[in-house]
């Protein structure tokens, strides 16, 4: 079912049938999406497809309200910048001035580091599942005694930074963030259906429920309580294009608007494709400013193409169809691109013959010789690439260049790999810095070796304990007496075990006894767990 609140312009009217095709998978019996498009400040599309509530058979409409996930970050950034403009906050000030209870990390962390994901503060979402007692995000962040990296040295997407910004805005303004956002952002811009919500169990009129697709039907899938990290923004597609158009028209003032869209910069001078709550890209030759969001079954995408006056919002209430993919197809109906899709291919060319065989010989797990961070190289559909990352294109004997560059992998570094031997390569950054990586050496622990690793390990930072037992092919790990057999961590090199994206690196004392382990996953590095005692039997 589709609805429209605004009369179409002639151009948009001609596209109605094509837009309907994009969403033809959404029916009255499935979740779906709401979408809105504006041209030069005028809303030309405001439609909805699918169901908002499968149990009560309530259809989605342009009035349907969704959890917009991380699309909210630009609103938090704007609220922060309003206070910076009023000289009540400073982008360059150490955040300990505003959060004195934050641990001293030995490095200055600024508001701008938080806004640009360059603070090094660990992402709370990568720790919550480990934590005992279901702590709120702020409590978990304030427990951390270590950083992922020196502030300003890297980009690493961190929800923690924005949790801290919400707290700083509330303390500085003297009012809850929800009230500040209402008074200073939503009401002045006419966003009547948008609110910052801290209690996700409260009644919200016109809220679309979110779902997960399962074999036997649909299951409710929504983040409630501490899973939302202190709050969420609920909004409509129509309100979000109003926001975009307000940014285009500088309605928040020149300073806030400019800073929201100013590229972040690392300590080495590298400019990034991320500003403050917004990604900055050129998509097929056209300037694009955007952000996506996900919160359990909710998926959102909001973007604009300022040079052509186009703004697009897509909000979906299930995992059936990614909002980003839907938004790209919707955008194609309105944006005129400078380059063809073929010219902007996202995948590197396939290899063949000797080049393919050479790439296959280079696959495997490598470790940064300085930090111990893992990097796996793989061949996928005859293309050489970093597993979970960018493609690699041969440029000379033993040398490969990164194919494309996006900010979320190695801070947008356009690096080159030079293989010094089959088991070692040098990664040369775009600024000329060289980092050595060495292949993980085969490691087959004996029964006695496994026994040396078993035990209970505890972390005050996470407020958790971790039990490790000997398994058939590795170590079985279980956190906080969780039910079930636990997870199997397989040895990948001496004193290092992995499961999925989790790495356990064991620490020995001078006598060689295992006394601790460092836990890492893609968004947190080296959380120390101290060994308390052996486990002689499985609990």
How sure is the predictor about 230, in pLDDT bands with cuts at 50, 70 and 90? Answer: confident
Q: Name the nearest CA neighbour of 75 among 172, 192, 160, 184.
A: 184
pLDDT category, 539, cuts 50, 70, 90?
A: very low
Q: In this structure, what DSSP letter does residue 94 have?
A: B
pLDDT at 344: 58
Instruction: Give how far the C-alpha of residue 44 lies from the chain's centroid of Cα atoms, to the nearest Å.
Output: 31
pLDDT of amino acid 13: 59
Q: Does the pLDDT value for residue 5 go beyond 50? A: no
264-273 pLDDT tens trace: 999 999 999 9
Asked whether residue 536 carries a pLDDT value surpassing 80, the answer given is: no
Q: By mean pLDDT, which of 87-91, 228-232, 315-319, 520-524 is the weakest?
A: 228-232
Residue 97 has pLDDT above 80, yes or no: yes
Does position 522 have pLDDT exceeding 60, yes or no? yes
Angle between helical axes of 159-173 and 73-85 (0-180°, round to 10): 40
pLDDT of residue 474: 83
73 pLDDT exceeds 80?
yes
Has residue 9 got a pLDDT over 50?
no
Does residue 333 or residue 224 have the better pLDDT?
333
Give pLDDT, residue 270. 98
Token digits of residue 156: 């690493």
pLDDT band at 225 (very low <50, low <70, confident <90, very high): confident
The 10s digit of each residue's pLDDT in 41-50 is 999 999 999 9
The long-range contacts involving 361-368, CB below 8 angstroms and separated by at least 24 positions, are 361/422, 362/419, 362/422, 362/425, 364/439, 364/440, 365/439, 365/440, 365/492, 365/493, 366/425, 366/437, 366/438, 366/439, 366/440, 367/437, 367/438, 367/440, 367/493, 367/496, 368/435, 368/436, 368/437
Each residue of 167-207: pLDDT tens digit?
Answer: 999 999 999 999 999 999 999 999 999 999 999 999 999 99
Residue 215: count other Cβ atoms within 10 Å of its Cβ.
Answer: 4
pLDDT at 409 over 80: yes
Q: What percentage of the chain reaches a pLDDT higher than 90? A: 87
Asked if residue 456 has pLDDT above 60, the reply is: yes
Identify any residues that bridge with 393 across adjacent strands, giving them in sequence order: 401
pLDDT averaged over every residue in the chain:
93
Does position 35 have pLDDT exceeding 80, yes or no? yes
Distance in angstroms (rounded) separating the CA atoms of residues 324 and 429: 30
Residue 2: pLDDT band with limits 50, 70, 90? low
Is pLDDT at 431 greater than 70 in this prediction?
Answer: yes
Residue from 389, 359, 358 nearest 376 by CA: 389
pTM to 2 decimals? 0.94
Looking at the predicted structure, is the pLDDT value of residue 117 above 50? Answer: yes
Residues 6 or more apart whose CB falls under 8 angstroms from that of 328 comprise: none
Would you say residue 422 has pLDDT above 70?
yes
Q: Can you point out the beta strands (E) in 166-258?
A: 195-197, 211-214, 217-220, 232-235
Q: Which of 388, 369, 367, 368 is nearest to 378 (CA)?
A: 388
Q: Which of 45-59, 220-234, 488-502 has the lowest mean pLDDT?
A: 220-234
pLDDT per residue over 312-337, tens digit each?
A: 999 999 989 999 999 999 999 999 99
**At residue 338, does pLDDT exceed 90?**
no
């Amino acid at each position: 079912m589709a609805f429209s609140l605004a009369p179409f312009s002639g151009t948009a009217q001609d596209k109605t049938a094509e837009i309907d095709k994009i969403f033809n998978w959404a029916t009255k019996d499935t979740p779906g999406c709401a979408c809105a498009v504006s041209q030069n400040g005028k809303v030309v599309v405001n439609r909805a497809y699918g169901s908002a509530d499968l149990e009560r058979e309530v259809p989605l409409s342009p009035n349907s309200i969704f959890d917009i996930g991380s699309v909210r970050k630009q609103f938090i950034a704007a609220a922060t910048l309003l206070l910076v403009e009023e000289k009540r906050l400073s982008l360059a000030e150490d955040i300990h001035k505003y959060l004195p209870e934050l641990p001293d990390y030995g490095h200055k962390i600024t508001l701008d580091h938080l806004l640009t994901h360059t603070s090094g503060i660990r992402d709370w979402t990568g720790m919550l599942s480990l934590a005992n007692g279901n702590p709120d995000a702020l409590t978990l962040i304030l427990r951390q005694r270590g950083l992922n990296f020196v502030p300003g040295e890297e980009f690493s997407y961190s929800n923690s930074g924005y949790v801290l910004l919400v707290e700083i805005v509330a303390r500085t303004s003297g009012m809850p963030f929800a009230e500040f956002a209402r008074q200073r952002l939503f009401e002045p811009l006419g966003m009547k259906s948008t609110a910052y919500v801290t209690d996700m169990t409260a009644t919200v009129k016109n809220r679309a429920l979110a779902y997960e697709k399962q074999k036997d039907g649909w299951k409710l899938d929504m983040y409630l309580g501490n899973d939302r990290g202190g709050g969420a923004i609920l909004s409509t597609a129509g309100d979000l294009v109003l926001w975009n158009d307000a940014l285009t028209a500088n309605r928040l003032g020149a300073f806030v608007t400019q800073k929201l869209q100013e590229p972040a910069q690392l300590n080495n001078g590298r400019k990034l494709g991320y500003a403050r709550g917004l990604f900055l890209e050129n998509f097929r030759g056209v300037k694009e400013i955007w952000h996506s969001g996900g919160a359990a079954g909710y998926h959102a995408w909001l973007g604009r193409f300022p040079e052509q006056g186009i703004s697009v919002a897509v909000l979906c209430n299930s995992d059936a169809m990614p909002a980003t993919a839907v938004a790209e197809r919707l955008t194609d109906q309105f944006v005129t691109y400078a380059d063809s899709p073929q010219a902007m291919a996202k995948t590197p060319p396939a290899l063949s013959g000797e080049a393919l065989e050479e790439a296959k010989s280079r696959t495997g797990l490598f470790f940064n010789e300085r930090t111990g961070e893992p990097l796996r190289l793989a061949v996928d559909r005859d293309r050489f690439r970093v597993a979970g990352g960018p493609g690699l294109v041969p440029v000379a004997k033993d040398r490969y260049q990164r194919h494309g560059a996006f900010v979320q992998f190695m801070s947008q570094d356009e690096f080159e790999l030079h293989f010094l031997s089959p088991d070692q390569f040098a990664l040369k950054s775009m600024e000329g810095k060289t980092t050595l990586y060495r292949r993980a050496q085969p490691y087959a622990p004996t029964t006695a070796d496994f026994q040396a690793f078993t035990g209970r390990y505890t972390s005050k930072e996470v407020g958790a304990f971790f039990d490790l037992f000997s398994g058939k092919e590795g170590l079985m790990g279980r956190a906080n007496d969780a039910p079930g057999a636990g997870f199997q961590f397989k040895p990948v090199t001496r004193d290092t075990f992995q499961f999925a994206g989790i790495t356990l690196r064991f620490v020995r004392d001078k006598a060689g006894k295992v006394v601790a382990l460092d836990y890492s996953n893609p968004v947190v590095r080296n959380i120390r767990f101290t060994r308390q005692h052996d486990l002689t039997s499985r609990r």
